[in-house]
Chains A and B, each alone.
Chain A
Amino acid sequence: RKEVEQDPGPFNVPEGATVAFNCTYSNSASQSFFWYRQDCRKEPKLLMSVYSSGNEDGRFTAQLNRASQYISLLIRDSKLSDSATYLCVVTKGTGGFKTIFGAGTRLFVKA
């Protein structure tokens, strides 16, 4: 079983739609959680950190459920420019920190 698992998609949605991605992680000692965005043929870039209390940045909302060991990302009012791969990222510390990237979920937003 992979340490961080995501539905690879692709998710094909029309503009204006709401779309949600989930990510599960296997290590309960995981400490930090992030969503990164990667555009085609580009490097990953931080989209937002994920906190237990949840956090929102404009049209994006991230949630963490430690009990169930999953992280979610909600995108409201999708734009064409949201088309990208979204990477779930988990950091764990066991005498040396380790950051683990999920394989990513592809999103296509169509006009």
Chain B
Amino acid sequence: DVKVTQSSRYLVKRTGEKVFLECVQDMDHENMFWYRQDPGLGLRLIYFSYDVKMKEKGDIPEGYSVSREKKERFSLILESASTNQTSMYLCASSLTEGPSDRGQTLPPDTQYFGPGTRLTVL
């Protein structure tokens, strides 16, 4: 079974603090993602990564940065936490199927999620 773990289930920080959220997956997946989930808004993509040292902005990257130094680990960083960053943060990973026999690139496979980190910024 794919296992995605996140460093904390619950976290409370103060405004202005630097916050690190860690995510580790054990299935050698190329793709990793960070989402936040808020009531009525669903999951919104913050950043994603297709490979080590590669990162791409998602829909709401402002106020966040990421780091992927190793394939299995994807970190989300809040440089200066603010109260509007109080949310549930979900990490996910997926396996890129890559080129098919016909030379097409297939879309990413199923995403596997970690248990989430509920962050409260006071």
Q: Which A residues form the contact surface with B (CB < 8 A)?
A: 8, 31-32, 34, 42-46, 49, 87, 91, 93, 96-99, 101-104
Contact = CB atoms under 8 A, between A and B. Distances in A.
A97 B107 contact: yes
Interface of B: 33, 35, 40-43, 45, 56, 90, 105, 107-108, 110-116
A99 B111 contact: yes
A43 B42 contact: no
B43 A97 contact: no
Contacts of A102: 42
A8 B56 CA distance: 30
Given A97-B107, A103-B40, 16 more contacts: A8-B40, A31-B107, A42-B116, A43-B90, A43-B113, A43-B114, A44-B90, A44-B111, A49-B110, A87-B43, A91-B107, A93-B105, A93-B107, A101-B43, A103-B42, A104-B42
Contact of B113 (A31, A45, A49, A96): A45
Secondary structure of the A contact surface, majority rule:
strand
A44 to B, nearest CB: 5
Contact of B42 (A46, A87, A96, A98): A87
A96 B43 CA distance: 19
B113 A97 contact: no
Contacts of A101: 35, 42-43
A101 B110 CA distance: 12
B100 to A, nearest CB: 13
- Report the 7 A-B pairs with minimum CB-CB distance, sorted nearest first: A103-B42, A43-B113, A101-B43, A91-B107, A46-B110, A32-B107, A97-B107
26 contacts: A8-B40, A31-B107, A32-B107, A34-B110, A42-B116, A43-B90, A43-B115, A43-B116, A44-B43, A44-B111, A45-B113, A46-B111, A46-B112, A49-B110, A87-B43, A91-B108, A93-B107, A96-B56, A97-B108, A99-B108, A99-B111, A101-B35, A101-B42, A101-B43, A103-B40, A103-B41
